[in-house]
Amino acid sequence: MKFLQSIDKWVPLLKGRLNKGTAADFRYYTGIFNGEGRSVNNNNKNMMKMARIQWNPLGVDLKWRQSDVKRHKKAGLSIAGAWAGNKGSCTKWSSSGCGSLDSVAADTSNPDRYEIDQYLFEVAYKYQGFSLQHEYHWKEIQDDETNLTHKFDGAYVQAGYFLNEINPSIPEELELGFRYAFVNEPDNSNTSLDNKRQEYSWVANYFIAGHGNKITADYSILTLKDGSLNNTFEENRFRLQWDVSF
């Protein structure tokens, strides 16, 4: 168990791991933050609180990274849930300060206007070059000035596989993957209506030196179902990226 405090906000984070390597392997995290971003003063007496619990039923603690670059010889599975809550003038958390959603704008004149609850469910699995990852997010914003409640939800699921595991003639650095994602959010012009965004992506990754040096090519179909216009828009996107990090 570790008790940590951040330098810029001086607020606590408690985390730990129980029953390491067993079927009852758990990680837990709880924290209290100012909720306004790094190096930003809290504009009220409220604090952002969070909690996360993660179960590793196979006794393997997966890293928070995508793709099974290291080729897990023992299967790893994690199942987790999390919650965060805050009351303030902002409608989304931003490291640079008060964040604002398009459909629910921040109101810095009223430091107690919005009461926010966010929930997360996630699953991750890795084994011998195969990776699967899923997250579902749900967010509710209670506007104490208008007495309206705004609801958002979204999710993604993605899978990747290094085909070299079944065909040695294929370069071991090459991974193919697929991703589906959606977001439901209130319409900007009429928050009683919803917009739905969806993404379908096919991707090829070439890991030159793991995640620190890789080339990615992906093709996506992006759709928007606009509630106020009662119409669906679709576009195609192709990206080629060389990612180098230190």
Q: What is the DSSP string of 168-180?
A: TTS-TTEEEEEEE
Mean pLDDT, rounded, of the chain: 89
Region of poorest pLDDT, from 35-44, 110-119, 162-171, 224-233: 35-44
Question: Looking at residue 6, what is its pLDDT?
Answer: 44
Per-residue pLDDT at 98: 76
pLDDT over 90 at 104, yes or no: no
Greatest CA separation for the chain: 63
Q: In this predicted structure, what is the pLDDT of residue 27?
A: 96
Mean pLDDT of 117-145: 96
pLDDT score recorded for residue 66:
86
Which helix (H) or strand (E) segment holds residue 31: the answer is: strand 25-33
Tell me the whole-structure pTM to 2 decimals.
Answer: 0.87
pLDDT digits (tens, 9 = 90+) for 21-51: 999 999 999 998 877 666 667 777 788 899 9
**Rounded CA gap, 1 and 209, in Å?**
33
CB-based contacts of 94, cutoff 8 Å, min separation 6: 37
Structure confidence at residue 169 (pLDDT): 96
Q: Of 100-114, 126-140, 167-181, which gets the smallest average pLDDT?
A: 100-114
Q: Confirm if 216 and 241 have CB atoms less than 8 A apart.
A: yes
The 10s digit of each residue's pLDDT in 48-66 is: 899 999 999 999 999 888 8
DSSP 41: -
Count CA atoms within 13 Å of residue 11 on its CB side: 20
pLDDT tens-digit readout, 4-16: 444 344 466 889 9
Full set of structural domains in the chain with CATH: 70-244 (2.40.160.10)
